Structure 1
C-alpha cells in the first residue's frame, strides 16, 4: 500500500495543533503529527460508531487489549497476556500514574536527556525529582544509554527510571543487551522502570525494536510499558493508551490505580486503537515506507544544501535531531528557523541542556514540503 501526504491546502483545514499554531506562510515541521490520511479501517470504524451513536463512556471490553496482544506477537514476537493490559487516556497518564505508584514524594527518577520534553514535567507531576543521566555520544557509534551512570544514580537512591524506547528525539532503538542491563540494575536496586514505547510501531525496516518487558524476568518483575497506537497511526487526539505488565508484582501494583484512570479512556480512542492494531497494518507499512524514503531524502538535501547541519538518520519514527551549531544560530536554532525561514521546528533546549544548538524536525510530510523546508533554511544561512 502506498501512502502519500495530503496536499497543503487540505492539511490546513485540519484543526489540530500542527495546523493552528502558526499562520499559513509557515511550514509546520514541529509537533509529532503526520501529514498522511487516516487509515481507512480506522476511519470506517469511527464512522460506524458515529452512525450507531456509540459516544458514551467506555464499558467493560477487552477487544483493544486483545488487538494489541496480537499486534505485539506478530510484530515483535512478544507474547502479552491481554488480562494484564489496562487502558487510560494517553501515554502521559500511563507514565505519571505508573510513577505515582512506584515512588514516594521526593524520590528521584532517572531520565536520559536529550529526551522527550514532557518527561521534565511528568516526573514532578508524579511527585518525583528528576535525576539526569545524559545519553552517551560517540562520533563513530552514535548515541547509547550510559549504563554506568544509571547504576550510579540507582546506587545514589533513584527509585525509578523513565525510559524512552525508541528514544525521542533521536529515533534511537535501544538494543536488547542494553535493556537487559537496565533490567538487571533495576532488580539489583529494587527500582521500577517505566518504558515509554509509543514510537515502537514506527521502527524502521533496518532496525529491530525490543520491548523492554520481553528481555528478562527481571524486566517483567520491575517494569511497566506504555503503549498506544496514537503515534504509529496518527490518532493522538482520540485518547487511548495502555499500561502493559507481565508479572504478578507489576499487575498487583496497578490494582491501586483509581478506577477513574481507566474510565477516562476515550471510547473513540479504544475503537481506533483496535482498528489500528488489528486491521491497519498495511497502512502502517505504507506509512513507514514513505517515512524511510523521506529519511533518505533529508540526508540528501542536507548534504547538498546545508552540509554544516549534522544529522544521524533515526532508526524509528519520523523525527530528525539536527545539529545547527556550525551555523551559529544560537542555543535555540528554531527561533532563527521560524523568524527567517518560516519553518517551525522544536527547540533543542526543550529536550534538556544537551539540546543547545539543536532542533527537532518532523519529516512525515510530502517530499515537496520537506524539500521546500530545507531550501528555505539554506536560503537564510549566513
Structure 2
C-alpha cells in the first residue's frame, strides 16, 4: 500500500481524525475480518472517533457502575426532540415506542406481530442482505419488488408484488428501507405517501427501516414514513447506531403510528431486556448533544461523494456511480468492466480492497459492489487506486 498521509486529530471533519494505524488497532468486524494488507471499505462502520458527549456519557456510566438493565423513556424522548428539530416532525409519540435490541431484531419482533409463518414480506431489491436472512430465518417468505432503473421505488413493480403477496388472502408486510441501503436513495414525501396509499389499498402493513435517517446530505431532507398521510397503521425502526457509529452499543426504538399502537403494545415484555443499558445511554447522548459532530460528518461525506465521483471518472471511467443523498454507502455498477457477477472478489484478490458483493443484495445486485464512503479522503483515494490497479 502506498503511504497514506497521517490524520489530523483536530480536523473539524471527523472522517479525517484517525490514521490508518489508529484504525488497525480496532478489533471490530471491519478491521479484523481480512488480513492487514486489505483495505476494508465494506461493512457499515465509520472510520471516526466518537463524539465527545457520547464518550463522556459512557465513561460516566461505567465510573458509576450504571451497567444494569435498561429502563425509562430517555431514548425515545431524545429521538422525539431530534425529529422535531431536524425533520420538523411532531408526531413521534413517546408512548407509542418500545426499546428493542437493534433495528433488525426489532424488525423481526414487529413482523411477528403483523404476520405469521409462511406469510410474505415484500422488499425492494437490491436491498440490505439481512432483510433476506432475517425474514427467511423467521419462516416468512421474501417477495421482491425490484427498484427502477433510476434506483427509486418502481410503483408498478411494487403493486405487482403487493398483488402477489395478498393473492391467497393472508397477511402481508412491506419492509421499506428508507433511506435505501445500498443505493443511498432518500425517498421523498410524495413517494412515501404513494407507498402508504398503495399499501392501504392492498391491506399490506408497512414496516420502515429508518436506521440511516440522520445520515443525509447537508442539502437534503429526510421524511419519516410515519409522518405522511395514510401511514397511520405503519411501524418504524430507528436508531442512533449508524449516524454516530454505535453498532457495538446495541439499542434501537420501534415506533408505531396511531393505528398501530395496539400492535406495538403486544410486543413481548422481555424484548425490552435485550438492548444494552449503556447503549441506550450512548444513543441518547448522541441524539441530544451530538448534532454538531453529525453535521461535520455529513459535510465530510458530501466531500467524499464528490471525491469518489471524480476518482472513478479518472481511474475507472466505465464504473457507473450516481452520488446519492443518503447513507454513507456508494452503489457501484461494475458490469461494464466485464468482471462477472462478483467484481468484489476481483478487487479483493487483485487489489486488496474489501467491498460488499452486489449479488448479496438480491435481484439486480450482480455485477455491482457496495463501497463504504465513511473513511478519510486519503483512504478512499487509495482504495480507488487499488481497484484500478486490479484491472491492469
Q: Does 1:179 align with 2:187?
A: no
Q: Which string of whole-angstrom CA distances, capped at 9 and with x for unpartnered residues, describes residues 60-84 of structure 1?
A: x111110000001111011111111
In structure 2, distance between residues paired with 1:327 and 1:30: 20
Q: Which whole-Å CA distance do the structure 2 matches of 1:297 and 1:202 have between them?
A: 18
Q: Answer yes or no: is 1:198 the counterpart of 2:211.
A: yes
Match of 1:46 in 2: 58
| Deviation of 1:105 (Å) | 1.3
Q: Does the C-alpha gap of structure 1 residues 5 and 349 become closer, same or farther in structure 2, counting only changes over 3 Å?
A: farther
Cα drift, residue 195 of structure 1: 0.4
**1:239 equivalenced with 2:247 (yes/no):** no
1:150 pairs, out of 158, 161, 165, with 158
What's the counterpart of residue 75 of structure 1? Answer: 86
Deviation at 1:285, TM superposition (A): 0.3
Aligned position for 1:162 = 175
Query: Is 1:188 matched up with 2:169?
Result: no
Q: Answer yes or no: is the 8 Å Cα contact 1:96–1:125 preserved in 2.
A: no
Matching residue within 101, 107, 124 for 2:136: 124
8 Å CA contact 1:97, 1:126 repeated in 2: no
Describe the shift of the 1:28–1:157 C-alpha distance in structure 2 as closer, same or farther (beyond 3 A).
closer
Give, in whole Å, the separation in 2 of the partners of 1:261 and 1:65. 16
Q: TM-score, normalised by structure 1?
A: 0.96
Corresponding position: 1:355 with 2:368: no
Looking at structure 1, the residues matched to 201 and 387 of structure 2 have their Cα atoms a distance apart, in angstroms, of: 49
- Give the corresponding residue for 1:305: 315
Distance 1:73 1:167 in 2: 22
Is 1:277 aligned to residue 287 of structure 2?
yes
Structure 1 alignment gaps of length 5 or more? none
1:161-188 CA distance string (max 9 Å, x none): 0000000000001111111111012212
Q: What are the superposed Cα offsets for residues 33-80 of structure 1, whole Å, 9 maximum, x if unpaired?
A: 000111110000000001001111113x11111000000111101111
Aligned residues: 374
Q: Hey, what's the Cα distance between the residues in 2 that align with 1:112 and 1:209?
A: 19
Correspondence 1:323 to 2:323:
no
Q: Which moved more, 1:285-294 or 1:182-191?
A: 182-191
Deviations 1:90-118 (A, max 9, x none): 00011111111111211111101110011
Distance 2:367 2:164 in 1: 31
Match of 1:225 in 2: 236
**Which residue in the other structure is 1:108 paired with?**
120
> Per-residue deviation at 1:298?
0.5
Secondary structure of the 1:359 match is strand
Match of 1:252 among 244, 248, 262: 262
In 2 relative to 1, CA 5–322 (structure 1 residues): closer, same or farther, beyond 3 Å?
farther
CA contact (8 A) 2:146 2:363 kept: no
The TM-score, its normalising length taken from structure 2, stands at 0.93
Q: CA deviation at 1:5?
A: 4.0
For 1:355 and 1:149, the matched residues in 2 are separated by 17
Query: Hey, what's the Cα distance between the residues in 1 that align with 2:377 and 2:243?
Result: 19
Is it true that 1:35 corresponds to 2:47 in the alignment? yes
After TM superposition, what 4+ stretches of structure 1 lie above 4 angstroms from structure 2? none
User: Is residue 143–residue 165 contact of structure 2 (8 Å, CA) maintained in 1?
Assistant: no
